Amino acid sequence: PPSRSSVIIIGAGISGISAAKVLAQNGIEDLVILEASDRIGGRIRKEDFGGVSVELGAGWIAGVGGKEANPVWEFASQVGLRTCFSDYSNARYNIYDRNGKIFPSGVAADSYKKAVDSAIEKLRSLEANHLVGGDVINESSCAPKTPIELAIDFILHDFEMAEVEPISTYVDFGEREFLVADERGYEHLLYKMAEDFLYTSQGKILDTRLKLNKVVRELQHSRNGVIVKTEDGCVYEANYVILSVSIGVLQSNLISFRPPLPRWKTEAIGKCDVMVYTKIFLKFPYKFWPCGPGKEFFIYAHERRGYYTFWQHMENAYPGSNILVVTLTNEESKRVEAQSDEETLAEAMSVLRDMFGPNIPNATNILVPRWWNNRFQRGSYSNYPMISNNKVLQDIKASVGRIFFTGEHTSERFNGYVHGGHLAGIETGKSLLEEMRNEKERKNEDQAFL
Ligand code: FAD
């Protein structure tokens, strides 16, 4: 029979590692971490590309410089992670049309203000309708139509919602964002965190309680404990499970529950949207884009919303790397994931030739992450509908018997972010500790009674 541990943590992303660390620090040493992929980090993941280390998942430490300290920023400073300040706000002054002309800053600023005003108006009317129970949303007459309006609408909604809606990350932790530009990757933070409670040697985790390539397929749970089955036929048993897989994975059928999860749970899981966010990296023999102050980000205005709209050069992070990054989201991400990288390269080059003329060199290399088609991710991060009540999140987070849920999608204030995952893991770890203490007390009382 399988040996029984106190806790099994499923998933070794930042939330799973943070939860495990809290448990270990509080004396729960007989824990097992089951991770489906061949590495820790989850959506924090670097890859070598064009001579430098690029982040396929989380790239920024967002929320710095405010009234409250962002624990991820503090930890990064402590371990000396190399970062550089990023200022998105200039992007709106570097908007190119299809003939390579930059929109005059006045036009750009006006369009931007118009888009913010209309987004705020839309939000208000949504809220008003929601309060009276109606769900009719009038598409306002100022819906974006021209390429520049579409581009700004895309930037605003898919990147800068903080301008419209207060977002805790920016309100509480501050408005500054830092790009991680460290050869060891953002994931260095995770290794440093893991080092405190898992046996490591020369930067490698050798602790046998961390089990990689273990794809959990079934959770059998009862009043007495949880039995976990993996794809390779292994069986693990524990008193409790912490499940840290993404909301996309919870929505998929990768893991089956016996008995099935209650209806309130599955309904809540179904209500959270999954955002797909894709950073495509392109390597060039030399740079042909402007690089001075205020030029890190630029925008391409096309009649199709979100079509290779948002660009960044990596010269600030890695001077001389000659790398550009273009970010796609949602439907465009899914479309590009489904086609070959050669097709994507051709599309990106044609967009760049619109902006910078026909004589620019071809990219020599392309990297297209596929977060949507990754069965251990199924998307990039959670996105609660603007008008969803807190109940949905509470239900997604609530434990079911001996199964505890964690992950960025369970963070009330910071879902969608690395610090959200980190704080969620700590919180879940603490609630489980409390439950374990309560269980122990209940047992003692029963014993005394007998
Ligand atoms: P994960 O990191 O997904 O960890 C869950 C783990 O569970 C994974 O390792 C997965 O392999 C594993 N798993 C899944 N299924 C199973 C199974 N059946 N059995 C065993 N293990 C399983 N955040 C920021 O703060 N700043 C950013 O700039 C930023 N940009 C982002 C860009 C992209 C492209 C993406 C994808 C995310 C970005 N995020 C950003 C969000 C951030 O990466 C996440 O919020 C955070 O890393 C999530 O951590 P987690 O522990 O909740 O989940």
Does residue 60 line the site of ligand 1, with CB under 6 A?
Answer: yes
Strand partners, 235: 229
Whether 140 shows a pLDDT value over 70: the answer reads no
Dist CA 138 CA 316 (whole Å): 43
pLDDT value of residue 279: 98
Confirm if 212 and 35 have CB atoms less than 8 A apart: yes
Q: What are phi and psi of 436, to 5 degrees?
A: -65, -40
Does residue 371 line the site of ligand 1, with CB under 6 A?
Answer: yes
Mean pLDDT for 108-117 is 90
What is the residue-averaged pLDDT of the chain? 94
Whether 157 shows a pLDDT value over 90: the answer reads no
pLDDT value of residue 131: 63
Mean pLDDT for 31-59 is 98
pLDDT value of residue 133: 53
The 8 Å CB, 24+ separation contacts for 345-350 are 345/282, 347/308, 348/280, 348/282, 348/308
pLDDT value of residue 14: 98
Does residue 420 line the site of ligand 1, with CB under 6 A?
Answer: yes
Does residue 28 line the site of ligand 1, with CB under 6 A?
Answer: no
Whether 136 shows a pLDDT value over 60: the answer reads no
Interacting residues of 234 by C-beta distance below 8 A, sequence separation 6+: 2, 214
pLDDT value of residue 128: 80
Distance 315 CA to ligand 1 centre (A): 26
Q: Which pLDDT tens digit goes with each residue over 11-28?
A: 999 999 999 999 999 999
Confirm if 238 and 225 have CB atoms less than 8 A apart: yes
Strand partners, 47: 54
Does residue 296 line the site of ligand 1, with CB under 6 A?
Answer: no
Dist CA 150 CA 142 (whole Å): 11
SS (H, E, C) the chain: CCCEEEEEEECCEHHHHHHHHHHHHCCCCCEEEECCCCCCECCCCEEEECCEEEECCCCEEEEECCCCCCHHHHHHHHHCCCEEEECHHHHHHCEECCCCCECCHHHHHHHHHHHHHHHHHHHHHHHHHHHCCCCCCCCCCCCCCCHHHHHHHHHHHHCCHHHCCCCHHHHHCCCEEEEECCCCCCCHHHHHHHHCCCCEECCEECCCCEECCCCEEEEEECCCCEEEEECCCCEEEEEEEEECCCHHHHHCCCCEEECCCCHHHHHHHHHCEEECEEEEEEECCCCCCCCCCCCCEEEECCCCCCCCCEEEECCCCCCCCCEEEEEEEHHHHHHHHHCCHHHHHHHHHHHHHHHHCCCCCCCCEEECCCCCCCCCCCCCEEECCCCCCHHHHHHHHCCECCEEECCHHHCCCCCCCHHHHHHHHHHHHHHHHHHHHHHHHHHHHHHHHC
Confidence grade of residue 161 (pLDDT, cut at 50, 70, 90): confident
The one-letter amino acid code at 233 reads G
Whether 139 shows a pLDDT value over 70: the answer reads no
Residue 419 CA: nearest ligand 1 atom is 25
Confirm if 327 and 278 have CB atoms less than 8 A apart: yes
Mean pLDDT for 362-368 is 98
Q: Which pLDDT tens digit goes with each residue over 382-430?
A: 999 877 779 999 999 999 999 999 999 999 999 999 999 999 999 999 9
Does residue 280 line the site of ligand 1, with CB under 6 A?
Answer: no
| 33, 35, 43: residue to mutate for ligand 1 pocket, most atoms within 8 A of CB | 43
Q: What percent of the chain has pLDDT over 90?
A: 84
Whether 134 shows a pLDDT value over 70: the answer reads no
**Which residue's entry shows tokens 């106190």?**
6
Does residue 13 line the site of ligand 1, with CB under 6 A?
Answer: yes
Q: Which pLDDT tens digit goes with each residue over 296-344?
A: 999 999 999 999 999 999 999 999 999 999 999 999 999 999 999 999 9
Q: Which pLDDT tens digit goes with each residue over 244-282?
A: 999 999 999 999 999 999 999 999 999 999 999 999 999
Does residue 382 line the site of ligand 1, with CB under 6 A?
Answer: no
Q: What percent of the chain has pLDDT over 70?
A: 97
pLDDT value of residue 164: 82
Does residue 411 line the site of ligand 1, with CB under 6 A?
Answer: no
Nearest CA to ligand 1 atom 3: 42
Distance 168 CA to ligand 1 centre (A): 20
Does residue 14 line the site of ligand 1, with CB under 6 A?
Answer: yes
Distance 425 CA to ligand 1 centre (A): 12
Interacting residues of 284 by C-beta distance below 8 A, sequence separation 6+: 322, 323, 324, 360, 361, 363, 364
> What interface predicted TM-score (ipTM) does this complex get?
0.99
Confidence grade of residue 141 (pLDDT, cut at 50, 70, 90): low
What does the chain come to in residues?
A: 450
Dist CA 406 CA 249 (whole Å): 13
